[in-house]
Amino acid sequence: MYWDDQLCNMIITETNRYARQNNDQVFQLTREELDQFLGIMFLTGYVSLPRQRMYWEKGEDVNVPVIGKTMPRNRFELIKRYLHFADNEHLPTGDKIAKVRPLFEELNRVLLQFGVIHPQLSIDEQMVPYFGRHSSKMFMKGKPVRFGFKLWVLASSDGYPYQVEMYTGKNAGPGEGRAGCESLGLGGDVVLRLLECLQTPAQHHVFFENYFSSYALMIALRQRGIRATGTVRDNRLKKCPLPDNKTAEKAPRGQHWYQSTNGVLAVKWRDNRAVTVVTNHSDISPLKDVQRWSGDEKKKVTVKQPNLIYEYNQYMGGVDLVDGAVAAYRPVIRWKKWYGTLVTNAFGLLRVASWRMYRSCTGRSVDQLVFTREVALELLKNPRQEPCPPIVTDSGPGPSSGRVTVVSRTAQNHFIVPAATQGRCKLCQKKYAYNV
**% of the chain at pLDDT higher than 70:** 85
Q: Domain spanning 98-328: which CATH class is it, in words?
A: alpha beta
Greatest Cα pair distance in the chain? 77
Residue 132's pLDDT band, with cuts at 50, 70 and 90, is: very high
Show the 3-state SS of 411-436. Answer: CCCCCEECCCCCCEECCCCCECCCCC
Is the preceding omega at residue 286 within 30 degrees of 0, hence cis? yes
Contact 154, 111 (CB under 8 A): no
Other C-beta atoms closer than 10 Å to the C-beta of 345 total: 25
Residue 431's pLDDT band, with cuts at 50, 70 and 90, is: low
pLDDT of 335 > 80? The answer is yes
Residue 282 Cα distances to 157, 184, 188, angstroms: 17, 22, 20
User: Amino acid identity, residue 178?
Assistant: R
pLDDT of 129 > 70? The answer is yes
DSSP symbols for 234-285? GGG-TTS----HHHHTTSPTT-EEEEEETTEEEEEEESSSEEEEEESS--SP
Give the mean pLDDT of 62-68: 92
pLDDT, position 88:
93
pLDDT in tens, 218-258: 999 999 999 999 999 988 887 778 888 888 888 888 899 99
Nearest Cα to 264, choosing from 279, 284, 247, 283?
A: 279
Say which DSSP state 190 is in.
H
pLDDT in tens, 266-278: 999 998 889 999 9
pLDDT, position 435:
39
Name the burial class of residue 147, with classes exposed (0-12), middle (13-18) and buried (19+) by CB atoms within 10 angstroms of its CB. Answer: middle
- Would you state the torsion angle of the CA atoms of residues 182, 183, 189, 195, taken in this order, to the nearest 10 degrees? -10
pLDDT of 412 > 70? The answer is no
**% of the chain at pLDDT higher than 90:** 67
Cα angle at 49 between 43 and 53, to 5 degrees? 90
Run of H or E residues at 289: strand 288-294
pLDDT, position 336:
92
- 404 — phi, psi (to 5°)? -75, 140
Residue 71's pLDDT band, with cuts at 50, 70 and 90, is: very high
Alpha-carbon gap, residue 242 to 269, rounded angstroms: 11
Give the mean pLDDT of 147-167: 95
pLDDT, position 422:
64
pLDDT in tens, 34-55: 999 999 999 999 999 999 999 9
DSSP symbols for 135-178? TT-EE-TTSSS-EEEEEEEEEETTS-EEEEEE---SS--TT-S-
- Residue scoring higher pLDDT (57 or 433): 57
Lowest-confidence pick of 120-129, 169-178, 342-351: 169-178
Question: Rg for the chain (alpha carbons), in Å?
Answer: 25
- Residue scoring higher pLDDT (435 or 296): 296
pLDDT, position 179:
41
pLDDT of 320 > 50? The answer is yes
Domain ranges of the chain: 1-90+329-389, 98-328
E strand intervals along 329-422: 392-394, 402-404, 416-417
Nearest Cα to 144, choosing from 129, 163, 158, 123?
A: 129
pLDDT, position 420:
57
pTM of the model: 0.84
